[in-house]
């Protein structure tokens, strides 16, 4: 499959200064193996305005075989813009063949903050300071008196050390209508052959196609790699006009409970594991394939359809096949991100914000679209 160009950047977020300005540099490489003239296009996403975005330098440039150019996009948000999260991406096309040789780069986001007037500094009267100190001393004494009780009372009333409640674990909740995570199409996630896709999910709907983690789909040429729910079945595989996949019925008891899924292509077959146990296996001649489209969590790459409804966390992509013993042993493990073959790892446990951080060395952070954070 034609890739066209490889587009990367060092970060997926831009911090604007006090005047609403910022910039981000993209590195674009010619992946066609022959000289081409490429054109860069800055494309706003969602509520971002095209007027805020400007490309520094010439949009059209000549690329030698395997040649590289850097494109800088400048952001200039006008004063008075309402607070909110916005994003854009850089696309590249071959000027001579724009319909077939093109690449959509990773999304980059920026936050327009709520304007705040600096509060005037006021000096507190000495009498107020003395009063505050006295109140603090009384409160501390009361706390120590109430705690008292000796060593036999320590640890009573909750889990953890000294009665501390266990820390809540955050996860991402998707509404099945418009929320998902955009991952872009970084070069580390563009490969073919063996692959492992993993995720913890708590599904709340089984009808239709509900993507969990997917590359694509795109229609020209038709291509997709996916781990998903498809009309009541867990399914993992690839598609190039023909499906190469394996699937298993979703037990009704899985609705509303946490389930661990791992889909593997080992070079000769697609294998699906549920909670570490073999759920399905089918010999197939095609595994991961090159897709000139974006990756997504909870929807198709780029959104628009196939939205997952439920909760999701610990999404991992490997560029190698993992065996059942590894899958079973590691399903509850917290990874460091440096494990061999781990090319994408999104714990989805930040608890706030709009970035899904990738703990793999690639640091391909995702952009969260209209999802909500939850914890338990």
Domain ranges of the chain: 5-112, 170-375
Average pLDDT over residues 194-218: 96
pLDDT, tens digit, for every residue of 20-59? 899 999 999 998 889 999 999 998 887 788 889 999 889 9
pLDDT band at 332 (very low <50, low <70, confident <90, very high): confident
Average pLDDT score over the chain: 85
Q: What is the pLDDT of residue 28?
A: 92
Q: What is the pLDDT of residue 300?
A: 93
- 170-375 is classed CATH 3.30.420.10: no
Helix, strand, coil abundance in the chain, percent, nearest 5: 10, 45, 45
Average pLDDT over residues 258-262: 97
Q: What percent of the chain has pLDDT over 70?
A: 84
CA dist., res. 157 & res. 222, Å (int): 58
Is 5-112's fold the same as 170-375's? no
Q: What is the pLDDT of residue 125?
A: 54
pLDDT of residue 141 exceeding 70, the answer is no
pLDDT of residue 144 exceeding 70, the answer is no
Q: Which residues have C-beta within 8 Å of that of residue 60, sequence separation ≥ 6?
A: 37, 38, 39, 40, 95
pLDDT of residue 224 exceeding 90, the answer is yes
Lowest mean pLDDT among 163-172, 176-185, 364-373: 163-172
CATH of 5-112, one of 2.70.70.10, 2.60.40.10, 1.10.10.10, 2.40.37.10: 2.60.40.10
């Amino acid at each position: 499959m034609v890739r066209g160009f490889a587009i990367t950047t060092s970060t997926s977020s831009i911090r604007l200064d006090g005047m609403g300005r910022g910039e981000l540099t993209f590195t674009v490489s010619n992946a066609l193996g022959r000289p081409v003239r490429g054109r860069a296009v800055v494309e706003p996403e969602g509520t971002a305005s095209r007027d805020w975005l400007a490309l520094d330098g010439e949009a059209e440039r000549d690329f030698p075989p395997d040649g590289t150019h850097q494109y800088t996009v400048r952001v200039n948000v006008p004063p008075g813009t309402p607070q909110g999260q916005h994003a854009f991406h850089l696309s590249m096309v071959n000027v001579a063949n724009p319909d077939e040789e093109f690449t959509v780069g990773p999304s980059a986001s920026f936050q327009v903050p709520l304007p705040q007037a600096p509060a005037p500094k006021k000096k507190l009267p000495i009498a107020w300071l003395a009063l505050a100190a006295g109140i603090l001393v009384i409160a501390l004494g009361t706390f120590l008196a109430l705690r008292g009780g000796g060593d036999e009372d320590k640890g009573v009333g909750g889990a953890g050390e000294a009665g501390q409640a266990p820390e809540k674990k955050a996860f991402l909740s998707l509404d099945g209508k418009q929320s998902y995570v955009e991952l872009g199409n970084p070069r580390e996630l563009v490969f073919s052959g063996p692959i492992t896709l993993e995720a913890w999910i708590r599904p709340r709907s089984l009808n239709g196609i509900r993507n969990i983690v997917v590359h694509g789909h795109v229609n020209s040429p038709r291509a997709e790699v996916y781990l998903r729910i498809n009309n009541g079945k867990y399914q993992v595989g690839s598609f190039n006009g023909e499906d190469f996949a394996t699937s298993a019925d979703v037990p009704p008891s899985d609705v509303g409970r946490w389930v661990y899924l791992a889909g593997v292509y080992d070079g000769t077959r697609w294998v699906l594991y549920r909670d570490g146990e073999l759920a399905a296996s089918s010999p197939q001649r095609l595994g991961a394939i090159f897709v000139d489209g974006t990756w997504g969590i909870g929807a198709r790459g780029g959104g628009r359809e196939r939205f997952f409804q439920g909760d999701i966390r610990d999404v991992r992509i490997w560029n190698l096949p993992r065996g059942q013993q590894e899958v079973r042993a590691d399903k509850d493990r917290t990874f460091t991100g440096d494990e061999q073959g781990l090319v994408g790892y999104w714990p989805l446990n930040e608890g706030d914000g709009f970035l899904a951080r990738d703990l793999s060395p690639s640091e391909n952070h995702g952009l969260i679209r209209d999802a909500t954070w939850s914890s338990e």
